[in-house]
């Protein structure tokens, strides 16, 4: 374990030094404005095929992947560090290096994944015209697509359903924009439910920016494997947590993953973690509507996700993206349990009415507000439950009211 961490750390440091050296050596060779415009046009043309247009070590524009020794070693290390399966003797540990997965989510007008080697204007592997369209002629995937194999249900969906039968309620926590306190709300929601003697699991699927370990005071903790699967990290005996933050060899490493690898880890979190019997599984998601959201909704659809809690701040710049998040939930059939107005303050009220008015206009429930409170910030910094750390804070009652409003909107209301 330590040897692996040392090797990964050495690689990351070496890559950083190499990048710095390259910059110093080539800063006087930066591309001119016409070159940059040509570069942008080339990117747009190649975007459908998922190709990369890079700046070479000499400052020239190129559409080839770097082939220097450091890059080759990085790819070799990433390939040699797969996500371990449940039951492995070594604790799960992931490499933050980027890998070259094939496939990705479809573009506009396409259904299902589009293989990297697909023809231009591929209709998508899940389309009814897959393998039959004129655009499919000569494609190496034509026979497979025409057979309908790609349109069959993902077997992982049933696997997730079976694995989560012992979880009574599954709640997604979403936000349209980053920085609105979504993970803080997730953490305090989990603390509040655990404080009511419920069995609670908190799953962090913000793969590139995991905040949950710090917000619950678990930074530096590690995950261990057992015959039952990956063991989550426990804050209290009735509050279990899982995050990619526990799997990184270095907490400061950037996770640079493409969609398929993110989706693979989310699936493993749902199928390989030994959650046990839970009253609630709270899923903290990244901001926006990306691969992670599509994956978690797909996997939990058959497992009967109860709904989503959407977090926003009072400003219109945040609510503009929340409207998109609300429409996303409506399109994919995820009930909205409530919109939480975080960092609310009478001094900084929105001139356009704020989240409560927005909820009325969009016919979605308003779960309540949490004030702009230094104690809430401090609880997050220290990884504590606000209820235990500062029971006198006015925010405690506001959070409890938010929890009450959410629980009353569950299919089977709870307290």
- Annotated binding-site positions for [4Fe-4S] cluster: 122, 136, 139, 145
- Give the helix ranges, DSSP H, for 254-341: 259-272, 291-301, 316-332
Evaluate whether 150 touches 130 at the Cβ level (below 8 Å): yes
CA distance 242 to 247: 9
8 A C-beta contact, residue 291 and residue 262: yes
Known binding-site residues for ATP equal 176-183
Residue list, annotated binding site: 122, 136, 139, 145, 176-183
Tokens in use for 186? 């997730």
How crowded is residue 230: how many other Cβ atoms within 10 Å of its Cβ?
A: 26
242 in Cβ contact with 225 (< 8 Å): no
DSSP one-letter string for 251-274: TT------HHHHHHHHHHHHHHB-
Answer yes or no: are the C-beta atoms of 244 and 94 closer than 8 Å: yes
Q: How many CB atoms lie within 10 A of CB 140?
A: 10
Residue 199 gets which letter from DSSP?
-
Please state, in angstroms and as integers, the Cα–Cα distance from residue 136 to each residue in 56, 142, 266, following that order.
Answer: 34, 6, 32
């Amino acid at each position: 374990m330590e040897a692996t961490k040392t090797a990964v750390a050495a690689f990351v440091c070496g890559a950083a030094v190499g990048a710095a050296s390259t910059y110093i050596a080539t800063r006087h060779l930066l591309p001119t404005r016409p070159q940059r415009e040509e570069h942008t046009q080339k990117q747009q043309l190649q975007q459908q095929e998922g190709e990369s247009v890079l700046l070479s070590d000499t400052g020239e524009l190129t559409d080839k992947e770097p082939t220097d020794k450091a890059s080759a070693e990085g790819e070799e290390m990433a390939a040699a560090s797969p996500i371990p399966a449940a039951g492995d003797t070594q604790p799960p540990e992931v490499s933050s290096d980027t890998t070259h997965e094939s496939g990705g989510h479809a573009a506009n007008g396409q259904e299902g994944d589009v293989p990297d080697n697909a023809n231009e204007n591929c209709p998508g592997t899940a389309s009814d015209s897959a393998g039959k369209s004129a655009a499919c002629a000569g494609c190496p995937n034509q026979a497979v697509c025409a057979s309908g194999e790609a349109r069959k249900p993902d077997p992982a969906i049933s696997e997730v359903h079976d694995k989560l039968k012992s979880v009574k309620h599954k709640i997604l926590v979403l936000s349209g924009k980053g920085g609105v306190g979504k993970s803080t709300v997730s953490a305090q929601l989990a603390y509040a439910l655990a404080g009511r003697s419920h069995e609670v699991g908190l799953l962090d699927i913000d793969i590139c920016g995991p905040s949950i370990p710090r917000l619950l005071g678990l930074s530096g903790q590690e995950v261990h494997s057992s015959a039952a699967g990956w063991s989550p990290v426990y804050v209290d005996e009735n509050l279990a947590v899982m995050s990619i933050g526990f799997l990184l060899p270095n907490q400061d490493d950037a996770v640079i993953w493409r969609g398929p690898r993110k989706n693979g880890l989310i699936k493993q979190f749902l199928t390989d973690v030994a959650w046990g019997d839970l009253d609630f599984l709270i899923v903290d998601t990244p901001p926006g509507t990306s691969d992670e959201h599509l994956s978690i909704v797909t996997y939990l659809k058959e497992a009967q996700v109860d709904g989503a809690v959407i977090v926003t701040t009072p400003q219109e710049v945040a609510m503009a993206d929340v409207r998109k998040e609300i429409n996303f939930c409506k399109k994919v059939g995820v009930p909205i349990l409530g919109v939480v107005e975080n960092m609310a303050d009478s001094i900084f009220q929105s001139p356009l009415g704020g989240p409560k008015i927005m909820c009325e206009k969009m016919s979605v429930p308003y779960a309540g507000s949490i004030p702009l409170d230094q104690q809430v910030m401090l609880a997050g910094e220290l990884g504590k439950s606000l209820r235990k750390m500062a029971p006198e804070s006015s925010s405690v009652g506001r959070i409890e009211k938010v929890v009450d409003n959410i629980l009353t909107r569950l299919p089977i209301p709870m307290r």
